[in-house]
Structure 1
Amino acid sequence: MIMTSYIQTGLRLVAAFFVFVTLLAAPAAAQVTTGNITGRVADAQGNVVPNASVTARSKATGRSRTTTTNDVGEYTLADLPAGTYELSVEAKGFSKALLSELELNVGATVTQNFDLKPGEISETVQVTSEAALLQTTTSELGRNITPTEVRELRPVGNFDPTKTRVGNIGFNGGDGRQLDVNVDGGDNKDNVVGSLLQNFAYESIQEFQVLQHRWTAESGRSVGAVVNVVSKSGTNEFHGSLFGTYRNEKLRARDFFEKQSPSDPKPKFNREEFGGSIGGPIKKDKLFFFAAVERFRERQNILVNPALLPEIAAIPGVTASPTIPTPYNDTLLTAKIDHHISDRQSMFYRYSFQKNDSPNDQFDPSQPGDLSNGNTNNNKLHSFVVNHTYTFGPTSLNQFSFQFQRFQNDILSVTTNPNIVFPSVQSGANVNVPQETIERKLQFRDDYSFQMGNHALKAGVNYINTKLGGFFFFGANGYQVIFFDDPLTIKNNLNGKYPQGFATPGAVNEITFSTGAGDTSQSPFHQLALYLQDDYKVTPRLTLNLGLRWDANIRLLVPQTNNRTMQILKQLNDPRARAIAGDAGAVARTTPSWREFQPRVGFAWDPKGDGRTVVRGGFGIFYDQ
């Protein structure tokens, strides 16, 4: 009943929101995959030219968008896909102005002014554009990593220990949970531990934007930064790429520790990384394809502390090895179709897949006595995004996107032996494996934009349904044997306490046995966001960014009704089990807050009007997930 009430309340809010948007006639698109071109059209004497036609044509796909200047000669081409454009301006009594190349990055607002010359429209005047100095119409602070820079990036960063080699990123002193990551408009945030969820093939990334300080209402669910990533698309020309790297121990220099024993052979090492991409037209100017694949293989060994080898060899049934292999395999795939249905509407479909496995990936040489962390980490990730863009007219546009994403992580033990613990060393299966994490995500996002005079109005709704499943419980392995002394001491009776070796009564300090299974139930939670945004150009030099956002997190935690503790109590026929099980689950649910209203105010001021100096500022309230 409580859950039904939550959903009904949320649906009422959504309905009211769309009524408000309809009254405004203000469809708007959040700039997670697009950018804006804006500017002013005047004559040679500086007089504004209203009703001039401004057209942007993509040089990659041939798709064009047209708008007209308002009464003060200003125009805005909102929510254009990132890329290179040809820009032209036509007005009665003036020659056509043509700018052959203008680069538009994701999330950017590029200002391009035109001074028209008297003449016939049939005449064309070539216009040159200076490199953009600063963005003068937004209060946000961030950085665009262009396609050229993406190709030159090197792998860096900390790693999230819960997923194999997935970067864990933090901004402004925050952790991974305080970061919002979008890929082609789809949420790519891990709702279990935060940070990134899925990796993508290197050749599939066109560019991305990092916003460290933002004062608009379009982004939320984080108090840190926002990262917007755009994947590559096919064009009117066929393009492809191939790459590969190979490295082994003979091509690798010794590190500091290996230099201390230069006569010892280098540890075995082998790394291969290769892949490629291909893209082009299926039907010129209409239908395009793109695909990228990447494969990574690594083979290396981690040294075991030599002082422990005699102790390990003394354990019955255990073979001592001076090294532990830590192989890693990773496969990444992305495929994308772009369809320009008409001058008014277009769609794209993108599917991405990742699969990796890494035996012994959690073995930590800094804990030389713990050999029980040799688990096998297996990951499978699928994501599918559909995006539909519809242009109502020169001043209004709608963008709808849907995403399905599924992540499955299985951590298994490389052995079925019980966990055996000695003071100096432990081996066998980790006591907390097997474990599994399943995360299924459905996302619906709709954004609208409308240009009304000096006001760029935006409104949007974002709904994410996430179902978390799998299992994790302490003592999952079920068996743990703890000895008083080290293996050699017990085997050789070095202190006279163990005349029968390991069979001596009292050699074992503790035996732990667990039964039952973890709770594998899956419980969905809901995230709902609404926003309104008005970017008001008060003067050509001053822009105000005014917005209001509302977020709700519904049923965020998973109820626990069938965990291992409940199972054990039931097996013991403990009367407390019924009482505890009757209440279990309710305490784990969170009560949604309907009061997370977040006003945002920002400004950008160009004091000289030359784009060389910009004063920015802002205020906002932000809520984490």
Structure 2
Amino acid sequence: MNKLVLRSALLTMTVLGTGALLAPAPAMAQVGQASLRGTITTPAGNPVVEVTAIEVSTGIRRSATAGADGSYNFASLRPGTYRLEIKLQNGVRNSDAFTLRVGQNAGLDLDLSTPADTAAAPAAGETAPAGGDEIVVTGNRIRSLDGGQVGINITQRLIEQLPQNNRNFLAFADLAPGVRFIESADGSSRIQGGAQDSRSVNVFIDGVSQKDYVLKNGITGQDSSAGNPFPQLAIGEYQVLSSNYKAEFDQVSSVAITAATKSGTNEFHGEGFIDFTNQDLRSRRPTEIYPTTRDKVNSNNKQFGLALGGPIIQDRAHFFVTYEGKRIDSPYDVRPENGFPVSAVPSQYQQNFGSFSQRFNEDLYFGKIDIEPSDKDLIELTGKYRKESGSQIATGINAPSTATLNKVDEKRFMLRWQRSEDNWINDARVSYQDTKWAPTPETFGNTTFFQASTLNNGNFTRTDLLRFGGGGSQQDKGQKGWTLQDDFTWTGFNGHTIKIGTKASFIRLRSIEQNRANPQYTYDINAFSPTGFNDQVPYQLEFGVPTGNGPIDIRSSNFQFGVYAQDDWDVTSHLTLNLGLRWDYERTPAFVNFVTSQENLTAISPANYPNLVNADYNINDFISNGRNRKTFTGAFQPRLGFTYRIDEAGRFAVFGGYGRSYDRNQFDFLQQEVNQGAYAVRRFNFLGADSNPNNACVGADASTCLTWNPIYLTPEGRQQLLAGAAGGGREFRFLKNDLKVPYSDQFSLGIRGRFQQVSLELGYSHVASKNGFAFLLGNRRPDGSFFFNDPANPTDTPAPPFGFSPPGYNSIILGTNGLKTNADSVYFKLTKTYTQASPWSLDATYTYTEATENQLGETYLLDFPSISDYAMLRSSGVPRHRLVMAGSIDLPLGFAFSSKLQVESAAYQKAILNQSNPFQRVIVGRETDGSGGGWGRRQIDMALTKYVPIRFISDQTRLRFRVDVLNVLNDYNYITFNNDPASQNWGARSSYDVGGNPPRTVKLSVGYSF
């Protein structure tokens, strides 16, 4: 079957590629392109012969033969400003300029039947003659044919004008219903759609997927990085879709973002900027005020860049290049969890707590050349290079010595050829990527980890206090390879835009994961005395070592293939149907060809580990012989949408749709099965050093539960531990043989209306995701049970069987599917577009969401025996109420003002609670206290810009002086809350940490453009 799929994929690519080169094959518009179609009504006897769309800035022309009824169809146009040249049988008419947005499916009907000299004044949004032959097209005349898509377009003006902190162009994606842009305390950021996590998003730049196949962020290079995925100077605009995208979109089950880069024009244009802020330009962070006011931590944020574009050959070839850099020193805090007092920690360790500063560097380069050798051809070549370095650590329990050295290195190149004919377009792309994410500990040596334990009414909890010494893991992960895409659109059938496309990727995934590169010694400070502080005898030691069973560099030559068909069918002048179907396939040899080692088979055999004989699962479902795993071939994805225009002008429309969208299983999960056999974390537990009544030494084999000896602090002592234990405390990873692929089902229904430059939208969306990946605990007690449920034993608690591992080994961890989420949202969206006549804009989106999930906000579900034991409860990561507003206005004397407001309700948190009466273990949840005033988060940002024309190089040359004020009201948006359900303070603020939410900050900018 796999060979057949591969042959079919290669044959399809060959046939489509040959058709692109030799014959007028059906063609299709690629992700990110705009489309424009409509009907031109003319006087009797003077029909339309040809319609040409001319890109104003470059002179690039695209022509389409008009139908007998005056219909025309441009199925694939770069986003930009255009005018129409309408060739009649007798004469030529021209429209004025109008703008097509990225991903926009636009309709524009023109009525030229009224002579210019007798035309009456047009109604609002109608077409009118002006200046004899020029046709005035107002923005209100262009109607949307987007079907069931739910989202928003982020224009160049929004990107340029709105205040922001880090110049990440994705920061405005939260204007789309159900989308959040989340910044963490370490400067990293991520996109979240509905109740799904970040790995389910995808970003397309110039039609090329930026999907991270290995790590969790969804976008290459973004995992735990404070950097930006792309230079903002290079982004022209982008579209954010939170649900119900068309069949062109692949490897995404929540948010799809498609961005178009800038191109050079027929005039030379350039710009440069410098942004700056430091500790003197910000208010004190809460941790610099409470519990006592102290000096600010040094912070420094410098961002700078330049761009240049222009003609190589007038109307035929253009170039665009840009560079952006970051040099950031940012503060972070080290403090215990749950408000544990620092004063209770011995003085020799207290210097590890406090506020500190970390450094981050980023350099981003992008270049683009476009060539139009003929009126029918467009060739584009783009390249991107990203490089990051510095030191990184998040606010929490980790002392500065445990910081990680950043290393992100990313290269991408793309060659595109678009061929246009009267009734078809072919869009072919070849792209190459080479990405690397390689964090390394800044300090090497022993790591010390302090925890405080409490036992309250049978509920045992641990509070993490401090980790210091050596850093954590050493990793090197990435992806490299080629992608071939070919997309066709056929417009030869009246009323239909038929699209087909295919994509094949040959990607080599790699992963080096050396967890516990520094040995970690974990101390229960309450182990010997409830009033003392145990820092002498750890209860656990973990350290990583190669096993010798293969290379630690895990590689997998993956093959990905996708094909789709889409028909945008204008059934009547009022009804448009968007009918699509796609199919995707991915083969991961590292998973499919994996063979479970004999050591693992022996360790879990009935003779050695009889606990699984009566277990509630079959371990054979997780054992691979290299032939019993198949690649999933059922990823068929219908994508259906409709638009019904209520009135003749199309100003009001009802829309809706249904779509299924498959994502993929993250390689970071799949590689762990291989990695555990090549590089394993050894775990040893020490007798009498743990106050947990259900500690790991209860029921465990004596070879991994030993008496402490200080020699174990040395490499020689750790080698003794390895030599004296058969399994060496190694953990097992078993993945289910019939792993499924995560997907979501998406429904939408709503109404859109247009009033001059104002657009309104009221809608409902439902997104249900299934088959999310999770790890479960495979250990069982001697009788095969997960919980030892004995009500007659009052000292027992329903704890997971961590202490009942195979003799000599650590726990069995099972990888499977089964995570689910549901998000039901009602939203209202208002957009007022900016025009020269009305120089202000407003985008506002309010979303109410009821979201549920069967997880605790993480991948490791080790508290119950199966995923079915986790009920669907309110989602931890989705606020019920969320309002985002952004606006700008031109002021007199060359000033411009802009602002952005974000308000959302309080977060929800869940935890496990043990109950002795009745004897059970349950998941409980509650809203956190929030930040006050009834909201969970609020932030208002403002910016004032002054433009000074200097006319040095051209009439458009000007200086720009700008002041951004972030978090104007200095709201404290706290993010850490007590997570102990047995505590009376559960859900209350446990620290003054505000994460990535800045205090009131002034950012100064100066720019130059011509």
- For the aligned pair, the TM-score class normalised by the smaller chain equals 0.7 to 0.9
Matched residue SS, 2:632 = coil
Pair 96,20 (structure 1): closer, same or farther in 2 beyond 3 Å: closer
**Which of residues 43, 51, 55 in structure 1 aligns to 2:52?**
55
Partner of 1:357: 389
> CA 1:376–1:288 in 2, change beyond 3 Å: closer, same or farther?
same
Contact 1:238 1:278 in 2 (8 A): yes
Aligned partner of 1:599: which letter? P
C-alpha distance in 2 between matches for 1:48 and 1:31: 37
Q: How many residues align?
A: 588
- Give the equivalent residue in structure 1 for 2:27: 28
Name the residue aligned to 1:579. none
Deviation at 1:480, TM superposition (A): 3.2
For 1:190, the equivalent position in structure 2 comes to: 212
**1:290 deviation in Å?**
0.8
8 Å contact from structure 1 (residues 147, 207) kept in 2: yes
Distance 2:46 2:624 in 1: 66
In the alignment, the residues of structure 2 paired with residue 190 and residue 336 of structure 1 have an alpha-carbon distance, to the nearest angstrom, of: 23
Structure 1 residues 114 and 291: alpha-carbon distance in aligned structure 2, compared to 1, 3 A threshold: same
Structure 1 residues 559, 421: CA separation in 2 closer, same or farther (over 3 Å shift)? farther
One-letter amino acid matched to 1:55: T
Q: 1:167 aligns with which of 163, 180, 189?
A: 189
Say if 1:97 and 1:124, in contact at 8 Å, map to a contact too: no
Residue 539 (structure 1) shift = 2.0
RCO higher in structure (CA 8 A, sep ≥6) = 1
What is the SS of the residue equivalent to 1:242?
Answer: strand
- 1:297 and 2:338 correspond: no
Q: 3-state DSSP class of the match of 1:425?
A: strand
AA partner of residue 277 (structure 2): R
For 2:544 and 2:254, the matched residues in 1 are separated by 42
CA drift of 1:355 comes to: 1.3
Which residue of structure 2 aligns with residue 450 of structure 1?
490
Match of 1:112 in 2: 108
Report Cα offsets for 1:233-282 as digits up to 9, x if no partner. 11011111111111111111123343446752222111111112111112
Which residue matches 1:132? 140
Cα displacement string for residues 367-403 of structure 1 (whole angstroms, at most 9, x for unaligned residues): 36x6664222221111111111112x21111000111
Does 2:587 align with 1:554? yes
Q: 1:512 to 1:106 in 2, by over 3 A?
A: closer
Tell me the equivalent position of 1:7. 6
Q: Distance in 2 between matches of 1:133 and 1:557?
A: 54
Give the match's secondary structure for 1:621.
strand
Q: Output the CA distance in 2 between the equivalents of 1:512 and 1:219.
A: 43
The residue number in structure 1 matching 2:157 is 148
From 84, 96, 106, the counterpart of 2:81: 84
Partner residue in 2 for 1:344: 376
- Change over 3 Å in CA distance of 1:18–1:485 after alignment to 2: closer
1:220-299 → structure 2 map (5 Å cutoff)? 220-260=250-290, 264-299=294-329
Cα shift at 1:364? 2.6
Instruction: Give the TM-score normalised by structure 2.
Output: 0.53
Indicate if the aligned counterparts of 2:108 and 2:143 stay in contact, CA closer than 8 A.
no
1:418/1:251 CA distance change after superposition, 3 Å: same
CA displacement, residues 575-624 of structure 1 (integer Å, 9 cap, x when unaligned): xxxxxxxx997569952233322233322121221121112222333322
In structure 2, the CA distance between the partners of 1:24 and 1:175, relative to structure 1 (3 Å rule), is: farther
Change (3 A) 1:410 1:19: closer
Instruction: Mark the CA change 1:435 to 1:89 in structure 2 (over 3 Å): closer, same or farther.
Output: same
Matches within 5 A, 1:411-450: 411-423=439-451, 424-430=465-471, 432-450=472-490
Against the structure 1 CA distance between its residues 559 and 481, is the aligned structure 2 distance closer, same or farther, given a 3 Å change threshold?
farther
Shift of 1:485: 5.1
2-structure distance, mates of 1:457, 1:210: 24
1:177 is matched with which residue: 199, 206, 210?
199
CA distance in 2, matches of 1:322, 1:340: 59
Moved more, 26-35 or 607-616: 26-35
2:193, 2:242 within 8 Å by CA — same for their partners in 1? yes
**Is the CA contact 2:19–2:25 (under 8 Å) kept in the aligned structure 1?**
no
DSSP-derived class of the 1:8 partner: helix
- AA aligned to 1:546 is L
Please tell me the root mean square deviation across aligned C-alpha atoms, in Å. Answer: 3.9
Alpha-carbon offset, residue 188 of structure 1: 0.6
Deviates more, 1:147-156 or 1:256-265: 256-265
Aligned position for 1:575: none
AA aligned to 1:251 is L
Pair 560,78 (structure 1): closer, same or farther in 2 beyond 3 Å: closer
- Alignment partner of 1:410 is 2:438: yes
Distance 2:200 2:539 in 1: 44
Superimposed CA distance per residue, residues 120-156 of structure 1 (whole angstroms, 9 cap, x where no aligned partner):
xxx9611111213663433142321121122124354
Shift of the 7–507 alpha-carbon distance from structure 1 to 2, 3 Å rule, reads: same
Instruction: Name whichever of 275-284 and 532-541 sits farther off.
Output: 532-541
Deviation sequence 1:144-183 (CA, Å, 0-9, x none):
112112212435465588x985532122332223323210
Distance (Å, rounded) in 1 between the aligned partners of 2:148 and 2:46: 30
**What do residues 206-242 of structure 1 show as CA deviations (whole Å, max 9, x unaligned)?**
0111223336322232232321111111101111111
Question: Structure 1 residues 428 and 584 mapped into 2: Cα distance closer, same or farther (>3 Å)?
Answer: farther
SS in 1 for 2:233: helix
Aligned pair partner of 1:96 in 92, 97, 101 = 92
Q: TM-score, normalised by structure 1?
A: 0.83
Matching residue's letter, 1:243:
F
Q: What is the aligned counterpart of 1:521 among 554, 560, 575?
A: 554
SS in 2 for 1:522: strand
Instruction: Give the drift of 1:96.
Output: 2.3
Cα distance change of structure 1 residues 564 and 250 upon mapping to structure 2, 3 Å threshold:
farther
Task: Measure, in 1, the Cα distance between the counterparts of 2:8 and 2:369.
Answer: 38
Report the secondary structure of 2:157's partner residue.
helix
* Aligned match for 2:512, one of 471, 476, 485: 471
SS in 1 for 2:220: coil
Three-state SS of the structure 1 residue aligned to 2:103 is coil
Alpha-carbon spacing, 1:197–1:133, altered in 2? closer, same or farther (3 Å): farther
Which segment is superposed worse, 590-599 or 163-172? 163-172
What letter matches 1:180 in structure 2?
Answer: N
- One-letter code aligned to 1:394: D
Superposition deviation, residue 420 in structure 1: 2.5
Counterpart in 1 of 2:403?
Answer: 374
Task: Determine the structure 1 residue equivalent to 2:566.
Answer: 533
Shift of 1:100: 2.3
Aligned partners of 2:560 and 2:570: how far apart in 1?
32
Structure 1, unmatched stretches of 5+, are: 570-582
Q: Deviation of residue 81 (structure 1)?
A: 1.1
Percent identity over paired residues: 24
Structure 1: which amino acid aligns with 2:647? K
2: CA distance between counterparts of 1:160 and 1:470? 26
Q: Secondary structure at the match of 2:385?
A: strand
Change beyond 3 A, Cα 1:25–1:323: same
| 1:542 and 2:575 aligned | yes
Q: Which runs of 5+ in 2 are unaligned?
A: 117-130, 166-170, 172-179, 222-228, 452-464, 603-621, 665-1010
How far apart, CA to CA, are the structure 1 residues paired with 2:563 and 2:511? Answer: 31
Shift of 1:186: 0.9
